[in-house]
A = this chain, B = another copy of it.
Amino acid sequence: MEIEKPLEEESIFSGKIIRVSRYKVELSNGVRTTREVVRHPGAAAVLPYDHNTGKVYLVTQFRFPINQMLLEVPAGKLDVEGEDPLSCAKRELLEETGIEAGRFEYLGYIFTTPGFSDEKIHLFLATELKKAAELSTDEDELIDVVEADWEEFYRWCEEGRITDAKTLALALRSRKLIENLP
């Protein structure tokens, strides 16, 4: 097991979402190099699935870094480091889609981009859905809800209409559960 030993940290930036540092590190073979690291508080993502209708609920929003609209599962970052991912998942689902769920199945986590960031996203399948009150998204999030059949959604993941990594990961991890629901 190779470990990279940090020798020195240079703190570069502390923003409202990310922190950036550059490290001098020594590898187990003695080579010294640098590593650039973007720290992120972590996030939770939810696939809401209505077993009665076979529908899933997605959101579409403008993503500034890539300058385009993106179709994704509802998700959001942990509000404080250490926030319970399930609480975060419930909150983001309600805020972004107006849906509450009676049941959340934890499907593990993913690292989105381990080469330069520690971002970890916890994945949930939400079922027993009910429409709650009106939407209450943050004022800097302009989000539309998109409804799709599960099979259609999965095909979008396979065929590349959906390109968001956490959404693909959730589709993969949900498939057997959804297709085997009684």
Contact = CB atoms under 8 A, between A and B. Distances in A.
B64 A23 contact: yes
Interface in A1-58: 1-4, 6, 12-13, 15-18, 20, 22-23, 25, 27-29, 31, 33-40, 43
A70 B43 CA distance: 19
A140 B30 CA distance: 10
Interface in A133-150: 139-140, 142
A38 B120 CA distance: 16
Contacts of A171: 172
Nearest to A6: B64
B163 A165 contact: no
By DSSP majority rule, is chain A's interface helix, strand, loop, or mixed? mixed
Contacts of A35: 64-65
Interface stretch (A82-90, A92-100, A109-117, A124-132): A109-117
A112 B113 CA distance: 6
B109 A113 contact: no
Given A115-B65, A116-B18, A110 B163 contact: yes
B114 A63 contact: yes
A62 B29 CA distance: 13
Interface of A: 1-4, 6, 12-13, 15-18, 20, 22-23, 25, 27-29, 31, 33-40, 43, 61-66, 69-70, 72, 77, 107-121, 139-140, 142, 157-160, 163-166, 168-169, 171-173, 175-176
Given A2-B69, A70-B114, A109-B163, 9 more contacts: A18-B38, A35-B65, A38-B65, A38-B116, A70-B111, A108-B159, A108-B163, A114-B164, A168-B169
